[in-house]
Amino acid sequence: MPRSGLEVADIFRAHGAAWRAANKSHVSLDQLKVMSAIERCRTAALGGHVARCEDCAHEHIAYNSCRNRHCPKCQSGAAKAWLAAREAELLPVRYFHLVFTLPKPIANIAHQNKREIYNLLMRASADTVLRIASDPKHLGARVGIASVLHTWGSAMTHHPHVHMIVPGGGLSADGTKWIACRRNFFLAVRVLARLYRRLILEGLGKLHDAGKLRFFGDHANLADRDTFDVFLRPLRKIDWVVYAKEPFAGPKAVLAYLSRYTHRVALSNSRLIRFDECRVTFRVKNYRVNGPGRHTTMTLKTDEFIRRFLIHVLPKGQHRIRHYGFFGNGSRATNIAMIRHLLGANTPDRDHANDDGINDTDEPPRVLASSRCLARVAAGD
C-alpha cells in the first residue's frame, strides 16, 4: 500500500498546542519534550547546514534532526548504525526468538510505574532464561541475550513486553566448549513461564516494600500491602505468556528481524493514512487473525491518538535495548571471539563501533561528493 506522506509531526504541529493546553495537568515533562522534538525535527527551528555542489554551485539546505529516540523520522538511521555493529557479532548458529509479556493487571500498574516495572520486566525475563539455560537438566550453558523492550500493541494501547533474541546454545561453565541446543528446541516454555511468573511477583513485592511503587485513581488502595497481596494472588495461579517462535532461518534472518524491531516507535509515519480536524486514521494489525482480515485500519479522535502515542514515552535514561549473558557489554567482544574460536568460525574483517559510539540519528551527511549535482540528490535521483 503506498505511503500517504503524512507524519506524526504534522499531527503534532496542527493539534499539539491545543492538546497540551487541554491536558496540562496530565502531561509529563518528558512527554512535552518529545512533542517539541518531533514538531521541530528537520525544520528551521533546529537549524541546519547548506550543502553546495562543486560542479554547478546548486545549494541545498538540510535541516537538523531532533535525534529523539521517540521520533519516527530519526530511528531508521539509528537502527542502521546499531545493526552494522550487530552484524559483526553474529554467530554461525541458529537463533531463537522469545517473547515475555505481562498480565493485564500488572501492565495497568506499570503504566503508573514505568521505570520500576519496565526494569523489572527486562531483568526478570533475562534472569529466567539465564537460570534455566544454566541448569544441567535443561541446557547447562551460559547463553547470550539481546532484549528489546516494547510497550505498545498495534493500536498503540499499553502492552509492555520483551522481544528476546538468543543464540541456540552457550558456553560451558569452564568456558572451554560450546554447548548447542537441539535443532528446533531451545528451552521448555512452560518451565520458563513458571520461573518468570515467580520472579516478577517476587520483584513486585520487593518494590512495594521499598516504597518504590505509586498508585493513583482506581489503584490507590493498592498502596496497602495486604490489599496489594490480594490483588496479586490470582496471578499466581494463571499461566503467564512466554512465547517461543520458530528459530530463525540463519543469522541473516536475525538481522532482518532486528532491523524492524530494535528502534521501532509506537507508530511509524508509514502507517498513517489521513487526518483532519477531529480524527486520525492509521493501519493496524490484528495478531489474533490470520489471513485477509489481519491488516485493517483504525480511526481515533485526534486527542486520543496523541494520548496513545505519548503513553509510550520512556522515562529519561531508560534503556530499551539490553544485552545479558555472554553478550553483556563488558565482555562481549572477548566472549564472541572465544565462541568463534570454539566453533571454528572466521572473524569478520570489518570493525564496528560498539553501542556507546553510535550516532543515534539519520541526519543527512554534511558533505557531498562534487561529482554528483545536489539538485539531482534533492530530487531523489
CA 92/CA 254 separation, integer angstroms: 11
CA 122/CA 143 separation, integer angstroms: 16
Is the pLDDT assigned to residue 314 strictly greater than 80?
A: yes
DSSP 286-332: -TT--SGGGEEEEEEEHHHHHHHHHTTPPPTT--SEEEEETT-TTTH
Residue 36 burial by Cβ neighbours in a 10 Å radius (0-12, 13-18, 19+): middle
Q: How many residues does the chain have?
A: 381
Q: Convert the pLDDT of each residue in 191-242 to its tens digit.
A: 999 999 999 999 999 999 999 999 999 999 999 999 999 999 999 999 998 9
Task: Name the nearest CA neighbour of 375 among 42, 63, 55.
Answer: 55
Task: Name the nearest CA neighbour of 285 among 302, 303, 260, 319.
Answer: 260
pLDDT at residue 350, rounded to an integer = 52
pLDDT at residue 355, rounded to an integer = 39
Stretch 31-51: mean pLDDT: 88
For residue 151, the surrounding DSSP H or E stretch is strand 144-152
263: DSSP letter: T
CA 158/CA 130 separation, integer angstroms: 27
Is the pLDDT assigned to residue 16 strictly greater than 90?
A: yes
The average confidence (pLDDT) of the chain is 85
Percentage of the chain beyond pLDDT 90 is 57
Q: Convert the pLDDT of each residue in 278-290 to its tens digit.
A: 999 999 988 777 7
Range with the lowest mean pLDDT among 86-90, 218-222, 337-341?
A: 86-90
CA 320/CA 325 separation, integer angstroms: 17
Percentage of the chain beyond pLDDT 70 is 88
Is the pLDDT assigned to residue 354 strictly greater than 60?
A: no
Q: Grid coordinates in use for 90?
A: 553474529
Task: Name the nearest CA neighbour of 265 among 322, 323, 318, 320.
Answer: 320
**Contact at 8 Å (CB) between 141 and 169?**
yes
Is the pLDDT assigned to residue 377 strictly greater than 60?
A: no
pLDDT at residue 244, rounded to an integer = 86
Specify the 3-state DSSP secondary structure of 358: coil
Is the pLDDT assigned to residue 362 strictly greater than 80?
A: no
Range with the lowest mean pLDDT among 76-90, 207-221, 234-248, 264-278?
A: 76-90
CA torsion through residues 285, 289, 290, 291, sign: negative
Is the pLDDT assigned to residue 370 strictly greater than 50?
A: no
pLDDT at residue 378, rounded to an integer = 34
Task: Give this prediction's pTM.
Answer: 0.84
Task: Name the nearest CA neighbour of 165 among 109, 86, 218, 102.
Answer: 86
Question: For residue 77, what pLDDT band results from cuts at 50, 70 and 90?
Answer: low
> Which single residue is written with the C-alpha cell 500500500?
1
Higher-confidence residue: 130 or 333? 130
pLDDT at residue 60, rounded to an integer = 76
CA 263/CA 320 separation, integer angstroms: 9
pLDDT at residue 3, rounded to an integer = 53
Q: Grid coordinates in use for 106?
A: 500488572
**Contact at 8 Å (CB) between 92 and 336?**
no
**Contact at 8 Å (CB) between 266 and 309?**
yes
Higher-confidence residue: 3 or 274? 274
Stretch 141-148: mean pLDDT: 94
141: DSSP letter: S
Q: Grid coordinates in use for 314?
A: 520512556
Stretch 11-28: mean pLDDT: 93
Is the pLDDT assigned to residue 138 strictly greater than 60?
A: yes
Higher-confidence residue: 359 or 136? 136
**Contact at 8 Å (CB) between 162 and 148?**
yes
pLDDT at residue 372, rounded to an integer = 35
